[in-house]
Every structure is written in C-alpha cells, then in structure tokens.
C-alpha cells in the first residue's frame, strides 16, 4: 500500500533533510521584446540530466510533444513570431540522472490583451447580512461591475439544505440569462459535506486515518456548488470513524457520497465565511464588514503593498511548499521571494504573497502561526497560502484558513495538498480561474503526488474568486449628457492613468460590454455616436496599465468608473441606411433548428445574436465574428417548436426577423 503521510503536531520535523519542495520546482521567467516579437524563456539550470520544454498556444489545450530538449546546463529558449496581445503557456520538465525531477510552468505573453467581459458572477449571500451589510454588498456589486462582471445576487437562509441551495443557484442563473463564470459565497450559506475519506480507499488528504487523528469521513465541499450537472448521491457511504461528528457520513443524512467530483467544475467558486471564529472576540458580521472594506480598498487601488513573496517551509522532506515556490516566482521576481519567518516578517514588512507550512491542528500551523495570533497581530499580506494538518477541512471552529481572511488576507487556500496552479494570475487571470483549474487537475499539471489528494472534493478557495494580481487607482466621476442623439461622456483621471482609457457600453440583452474606441484614449472625454437604441444606457470607462511580471507583460484594466443615462434616439436608421435590415436572410424558414444566416456588413465587427419568444423571453444569445461583405453563418439550436424573433445587432444598428421552428 502507498505510504500515507500524516503530519501531527507532535511529529518531529526533519530539519536537516533536503528541501524537497524547492528541488521539485524549476523556476522560470520571461523577458519580452515587443519590437522583435520574441519571448526569452529562462529557467534555472541543474547539475545533471536534461530539460524538456513544452508549449501550448491556448490554456486548456493538450501539451503534446516537447518543442525542444536541452542538456542540464542550458537554461534559455527564444520563441519568435509571437503575436502581440496573445498568451501562451510553457512547461519545462527536468529529468535528473538519479531519478530526481522538477517542473516549471509559465503563462507568457507580450502585452496580453485584457478580458473586459468577465461574464456573470453570482453573489450567494447569507441572508443574515442582508440588512447590516447592505451598503458593503452594494459597494461590492458596483466594484465588480466596474471590472466588467455582470452581477446577480441571491440571498439564502442558513437553514437550507445543500441540495436546496444548489437548486436555487440553478434557477437564478437560468432566469438571469447570459454566461456565468463565478459564484462568490458570502457568509455561512449552507456548507456541503461529501466524501468517504479513510485508510482503505482514499485516505484523508492530510493523512490522518483511523487511529491517527481520525480525520476521516466527509469534508466540507464547496466544489459541490461549482458542479452544474454532476451526479451527487447520498445513498452508500456509512462512515462514522471521524473524531468529529460533523465528518460522519451516513446514507440519507444530507452529506454526499462522492470523494472524487463526478465531473469537472463548471463555475469558479470562492467563499468568505467568518462564522464560528470566537478567538477574534468580534461578531461574524463585523469581521465580514472589515473584510469587505479591505476588499474594496485593495481593488480600487487604495491599498499598496510591496510586490514580493515569503516562504516559511517547515516540511523540508515533503513537497508541500512547491505550491508556494511555483506560483510566487511566476508573479514576483524570484529574487523577491524570500525564506523568512511567516508571522514576524509580515508584522514588520508588507508582502503581496506569502506561504507557510508546518505540522498542524484545526487552528494552528507549527512554527508558522495560529488562530489566536491571527486574532491579535496585524499582518501585512494580500494573498496567503497555508498548509498543514486539519485546517484544510475549513468548516471548523477557529479554523486557521478562515482566520487568515479575518486578519489581512483577501484569499487563502490549502496549497500543496494537492498542488495548486494559479500562475495565470501573472498575465491577468483572476484567482477563480486558477481555483477551477486546480480543482479539476488530474494530469494537466503535475499534481504533487501527496496522499492522492488531487481532484478531490475538499479543494476550496477561501476568499473572493474575482480578485486579480494587481490593482491601481482608476478614473472617477464619469458623467453623461445627451444632445443631438449623441451621448457625451467626461471623467477624471488618477495620476497614474498614463496609458489611456477604454470606453464601454453595456448591451443589456447579451449582457456584455462593447468597446467603443479602437485605440486607447488620451483625452478625458468621448462622444458616443453609435448608439441607436432608446432606453437607460450604461457606460464604463477603464484606464489601461501595462504590467510587467516574471511571466511577461499584460494590459491591466483595473477598476473603472460607470454611469447610466436615459437616452432617446430621435433619428432612427432608415431602411435605406440599414445594411443589416436590407440584407439579412434566414433559410430555411421554417426550420428544424438548423438554419443559415446570410447578411452583408460594411465593417468587420462582433455581431450579437439573440432569439426571443413571443412573450419576450430570451432563449438564446451569442456573439458572432463577422467579416466585411457577405457573411453566411450556419447555426444549430435546440428550441421547441414555435414562433420566435431573431435579432441581430452590430452595436450601431439592429434588425429583427421572425423565425419559425418546426419538426416538420
């Protein structure tokens, strides 16, 4: 049987052992050359063996075969013909002559374009906070909108069962239309439990099997909410060996059987939950308010920190800290990631990232920190990772992970059990993306081989899934006026808004932003002449900043400023002027759900397609790429028989035609 590694508080540390975690990470960095369109991929050399370099053009693609193999002393590759604005991922594997190995990953690019449409995020809120934290939640909603998210809110009572919560999530998202990426759980919304962790089968991720801490049975599993359609059952598991009754799992008790998620996660899920943290001597409402205040100040550029990292590794013979080394060195320079004491260093100096691991209990990490210290000390970090026994089962009294977010951290996770991959934040991705990838990882990235903990139900983000690596002060005081069927926008800039601004108009049917300017604006005003729809029109202005990390450069949009205006368009497009109206054809019509759209357009643009029924309910929406001239697009839908209305819009004009669906 494979050895099960447990790290109890009383197990002596092998302080003289080789630092396994750092050896298993090949640190990488990227130097960009925009003029030559090249990426210089660098990695640390080794004393023997070979390196194999892999590349994939898009995140999620298969890795394929190595693009090149190098000897142990070589440490550089120049990749040419890079497309400015694109991202590509590299994976380096060191194979040592004595069986040692190491992995490195970097998501690299030259001025990688930012995603300005973040799609939908559902705020799943404990109804206990609906009144006392109304202003803070409304402010969060506004902050998210100003970063390109489409926000929906759902308040739920703590007394609901997990399956009832999930049902309401599904209903809310279906009713809201559009694509949803993330679920941000705020408060003690029902915590799902799932799994059958035990010695015979899947051991508890921290290794504490029966007779050795008895951390067996079901664990907290927010991943359940990330799964849209997977089959979660409550029929077979009967395990009461856990030392705490909340981990007991019996048939039909509301806790699920699955130890491995039945499908890949569909949503990015994170939770901030201050419930049952008595060590802080503050109410969960006050702790949550303080978190939301810090969250707002950080994402609007009002909190600054030194872009450096800290590693406090008390498991030199284990590889847990490899999660710290791999991720931190992709986001801040390797020279800025220091081996220091977790607690004392962050009391005196600020860090963007920190990592600490040591023998643990639910509320302590030996030689790192404990919950009582989180409650009294003022630490200076933004993001942290902590690893050790027990506290990865985060729905416990005075839990260490949640205590970190009650101090200064805006998110944390149990890194190393298994390995997490959030390095894509270095090129503009949010932490929720890395969470989803880490939860679903089986073989895409090296999983760490720790107690078979990869792709299990316990993997969870404690904190806000929408957060990014870096923020700055953006524009403010966006104002809109209208005259002559045009909207005039003005705003004020922050001192560092030197790269320019982008202006967006929200399409309320497709739930997405349309960028109105083709290149960054250097002025503090814009005239929208393209809108030809009457109604309440929403606008967003965001500044651009070119960020440089060890992974390359990317366009960071930061938080923006938004406004809305009631607008009446008094000179509608005539039939003679409307290219779409004159040229749009749908055939065959009637259709059996497979048909072709044919239309001409005089400027390449994104086309928004929506299909409504006679009551106005939206049944389908998508964005289509168009070209100048004749476009013919074949579509396959899944609509019931009936009469529908098909609408096409290119941002400046819109046309609608009847579509009949029949099975013939």
Q: Which of 187, 174, 189 is nearest to 225 (CA)?
A: 189
**Tokens representing residue 345 in the block:** 């260093």
For residues 19 and 510, the model is more confident at 19
- Owner of token pair 């005081």: 477
> Strand pairing of 486-492 and 476-483?
antiparallel
More confident residue, 1 or 401: 401
Q: How confident is the model at residue 656 (pLDDT cuts 50, 70, 90)?
A: confident
Indicate the SS3 state at residue 13.
Answer: coil
* CA atoms of 446 and 418, how far apart (whole Å): 10
Backbone phi and psi for residue 361, each to the nearest 5 degrees, phi listed first: -135, -175
Out of 246-250, 528-532, 591-595, 601-605, least confident range: 601-605
Question: How far apart are the C-alpha atoms of 214 and 198, rounded to whole Å?
Answer: 8
What is the residue whose two structure tokens read 């990227």?
30
Determine contact, residues 442/159, Cβ cutoff 8 Å.
no
Q: For the chain, how big is the Rg over CA atoms in Å? A: 26
Mean pLDDT for the chain overall? 92
Please give the average per-residue pLDDT across 625-637, as a whole number. Answer: 82
Encoded tokens for 300? 């609007």
For residue 3, name the pLDDT band (cuts at 50, 70, 90): low
Q: How far is CA 221 from CA 246, 475, 493, 539, in A?
A: 13, 39, 43, 38
Among 82-96, 386-400, 649-663, name the one with the lowest average pLDDT. 649-663
Contact of 532 with 652, CB cutoff 8 Å: yes
Tens-digit pLDDT profile for residues 21-48: 999 999 999 999 999 999 999 999 999 9
Paired residues of 600 in beta bridges? 630
Joined together, the tokens standing for residue 419 give: 């390995």
Instruction: Report the pLDDT averaged over residues 473-482.
Output: 97
CB 454 within 8 A of CB 442: yes
Q: Are 242 and 216 in contact (CB under 8 A)?
A: yes
What confidence category does residue 651 fall into, taking pLDDT thresholds of 50, 70 and 90? low
535 — pLDDT class (breaks 50, 70, 90): confident
545-549 and 535-543 beta bridge pairing: unpaired
Q: What is the pLDDT of residue 579?
A: 62
Confidence of residue 10 (pLDDT cuts 50, 70, 90): very low
By CB neighbour count within 10 A (0-12 exposed, 13-18 middle, 19+ buried), where does 578 fall? middle
Domains 20-112+305-463 and 476-545+557-567 are alike in CATH topology? yes
12 burial (CB, 10 Å; 0-12 / 13-18 / 19+) is exposed
CA dihedral 239, 243, 247, 251 (to 10 degrees): 30
pLDDT value of position 17: 36
Burial (0-12, 13-18, 19+ Cβ within 10 Å), 168: middle
pLDDT of residue 6: 61
Fold of the domain spanning 476-545+557-567: Immunoglobulin-like (2.60.40)
pLDDT, one tens digit per residue, over 431-444 is: 999 999 999 999 99
Query: How much is the pLDDT for 12?
Result: 35
More confident residue, 34 or 582: 34
- Say whether pLDDT at 414 is over 60: yes
For the domain covering 579-661, report its CATH number: 2.60.40.3080
DSSP string, 365-422: ETTTEEHHHHHH----EEEEEEE-SSTTS-SSTT-HHHHHHHHT-SEEE-TTSS----
**Where along the chain do its domains lie?**
20-112+305-463, 119-272, 476-545+557-567, 579-661
Contact 94, 26 (CB under 8 A): yes
* Side-chain-facing half-sphere of 136: CA atoms under 13 Å: 20
Give Cα separations from 295 to 30, 404, 471, 525 (angstroms): 30, 14, 11, 29
Work out the pLDDT band at 613, boundaries 50, 70, 90.
Answer: confident
Cis peptide before 588 (omega within 30 of 0): yes
The pLDDT, as a whole number, for residue 60 is 94
204-244 pLDDT, tens per residue?
Answer: 999 999 999 999 999 999 999 999 999 999 999 999 999 99
How many residues are recorded in the chain?
Answer: 664
Q: Which 3 state secondary structure label does DSSP give 533? A: coil
Give 430: exposed, middle or buried? Use CB within 10 Å, 0-12, 13-18, 19+. Answer: buried
Distance, CA of 652 to CA of 578 (rounded, Å): 10
Would you tell me the crossing angle of helices 284-299 and 134-145 to the nearest 10 degrees?
30
Query: In this structure, what DSSP letter does residue 425 have?
Result: G
575-585 average pLDDT score: 61
* Cα–Cα distance measured from residue 267 to residue 278, given in angstroms and rounded to the nearest whole number: 31
**pLDDT at residue number 8:** 44
Cα end-to-end distance, the chain, whole Å: 61
pLDDT, tens digit (0-9, with 9 covering 90-100), for 254-265? 999 999 999 999
Handedness of CA 293, 299, 304, 309 (dihedral sign): positive
DSSP string, 173-239: HHHH-S-EEEEEEES-----EEEEE-SSSBPPTT---TTTT---EEEE-THHHH-SS-----SS--B
- Sheet with 119-126: strands ordered across: 149-156, 119-126, 180-186, 268-272, 461-463, 411-413, 381-387, 351-357, 309-313, 337-339
Please give the average per-residue pLDDT across 376-391, as a whole number: 97
Instruction: Specify the pLDDT at position 13.
Output: 36
pLDDT band of 578, cuts 50, 70, 90: low
CATH class of 20-112+305-463: mainly beta
- Please report which residue ranges of 74-212 form alpha helices under DSSP H: 134-145, 162-176
Q: Using the predicted structure, report yes or no on whether residue 654 has a pLDDT greater than 90.
A: no
């Amino acid at each position: 049987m494979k050895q099960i590694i447990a790290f109890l508080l009383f197990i002596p540390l092998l302080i003289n052992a080789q630092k396994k975690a750092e050896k298993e990470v090949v640190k990488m960095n990227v130097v960009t050359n925009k003029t030559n369109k090249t990426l210089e991929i660098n990695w640390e050399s080794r004393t023997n063996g070979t390196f194999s370099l892999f590349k994939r053009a898009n995140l999620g693609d298969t890795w394929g075969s190595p693009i090149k193999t190098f000897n142990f002393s070589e440490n550089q590759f120049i990749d040419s013909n890079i497309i400015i604005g694109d991202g590509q991922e590299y994976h380096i594997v060191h194979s040592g002559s004595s069986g040692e190995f190491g992995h490195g990953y970097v998501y690299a690019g030259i001025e990688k374009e930012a995603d300005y449409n973040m799609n939908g995020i559902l705020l799943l809120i404990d109804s206990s906070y609906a009144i006392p934290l109304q202003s803070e939640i409304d402010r969060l909603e506004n902050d998210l909108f100003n970063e390109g998210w489409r926000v929906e809110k759902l308040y739920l009572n703590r007394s609901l069962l997990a399956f009832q919560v999930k049902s309401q999530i599904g209903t809310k998202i279906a009713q809201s239309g559009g694509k949803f990426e993330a679920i941000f759980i705020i408060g003690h919304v029902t915590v799902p439990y799932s799994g059958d962790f035990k010695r015979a089968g899947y051991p508890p991720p921290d290794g504490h099997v029966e007779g050795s801490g008895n951390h067996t049975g079901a664990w907290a599993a927010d991943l359940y909410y990330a799964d849209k359609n997977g089959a979660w059952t409550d029929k077979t598991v009967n395990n009461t060996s856990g030392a705490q009754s909340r981990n007991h799992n019996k048939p039909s008790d509301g806790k699920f059987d699955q130890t491995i998620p039945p499908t890949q996660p569909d949503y990015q899920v994170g939770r901030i939950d201050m419930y049952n943290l008595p060590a802080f001597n503050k109410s969960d409402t006050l702790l949550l308010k303080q978190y939301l205040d810090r969250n707002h100040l950080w994402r609007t550029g009002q909190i600054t920190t030194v872009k450096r990292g800290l590693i406090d590794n008390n498991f030199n013979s284990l590889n847990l800290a490899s999660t710290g080394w791999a991720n931190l060195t992709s986001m801040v320079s390797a020279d800025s990631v220091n081996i220091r004491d977790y607690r004392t260093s962050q009391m005196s100096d600020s860090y963007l990232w920190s990592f600490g691991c040591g023998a643990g209990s639910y509320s302590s990490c030996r030689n790192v920190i404990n919950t009582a210290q989180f409650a009294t000390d003022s630490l200076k970090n933004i993001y942290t990772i902590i690893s050790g026994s027990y506290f990865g089962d985060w729905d416990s009294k005075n839990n260490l992970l949640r205590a970190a977010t009650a101090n200064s951290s805006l998110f944390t996770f149990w890194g190393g059990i298994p390995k997490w991959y959030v390095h894509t934040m270095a090129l503009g991705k949010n932490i929720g993306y890395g969470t989803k990838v880490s939860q679903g990882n089986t073989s895409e990235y090296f999983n760490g081989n720790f107690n078979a903990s990869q792709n299990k139900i316990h993997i969870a983000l404690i904190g806000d899934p929408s957060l990014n690596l870096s923020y700055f002060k953006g524009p403010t005081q966006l104002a809109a006026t209208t005259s002559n069927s045009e909207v005039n926008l003005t705003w004020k800039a922050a001192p560092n808004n030197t790269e320019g601004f982008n202006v967006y108009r929200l399409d309320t049917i497709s739930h997405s932003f349309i960028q109105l300017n083709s290149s960054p604006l250097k002025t503090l005003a814009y005239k929208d002449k393209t809108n030809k729809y009457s109604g309440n029109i929403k606008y967003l202005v965001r500044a651009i900043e070119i960020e440089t990390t060890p992974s390359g450069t990317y366009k960071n949009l930061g938080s923006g400023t938004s406004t809305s205006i009631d607008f009446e368009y008094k000179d509608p497009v005539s039939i003679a002027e409307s290219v779409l109206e004159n040229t749009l054809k749908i055939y065959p019509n009637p259709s059996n759900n497979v048909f072709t759209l044919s239309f001409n357009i005089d400027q390449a643009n994104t086309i928004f397609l929506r299909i409504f029924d006679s009551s106005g309910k939206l049944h389908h929406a998508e964005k289509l790429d168009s070209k100048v001239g004749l476009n013919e697009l074949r579509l396959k839908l899944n609509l019931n028989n009936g009469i529908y209305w098909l609408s096409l819009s290119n941002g400046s004009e819109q046309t609608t035609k009847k579509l009949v669906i029949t099975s013939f």
